[in-house]
């Protein structure tokens, strides 16, 4: 059985902190045509590294 899940048109965001002043966050934003934006931030002692993937397309399953 295949389950289809639809993301609401909003940004999903999660932040994780650790003991050594390190903080990571991940956001997922739905876009058009079965795609989404994925942004990952990593902050270590006030230095921010940002990874950004845009327009990842999720193919539709044909059964």
With bands split at pLDDT 50, 70 and 90, how would you rate the model's confidence at 40? confident
Residue partners of 27: CB distance under 8 A and separation at least 6: 11, 12, 13, 14, 37, 38, 39
Asked whether residue 37 carries a pLDDT value surpassing 60, the answer given is yes
Percent of the chain with pLDDT over 90: 0
Percent of the chain with pLDDT over 70: 43
Q: How many CB atoms lie within 10 A of CB 7?
A: 12
pTM of the model: 0.46
């Amino acid at each position: 059985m295949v389950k289809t899940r639809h993301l609401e048109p909003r940004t999903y965001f999660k932040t994780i902190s650790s003991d050594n002043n390190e903080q990571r966050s991940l956001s997922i934003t739905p876009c058009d045509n079965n795609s989404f934006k994925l942004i990952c931030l990593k902050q270590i002692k006030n230095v921010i590294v940002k990874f950004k993937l845009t327009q990842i397309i999720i193919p539709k399953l044909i059964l």
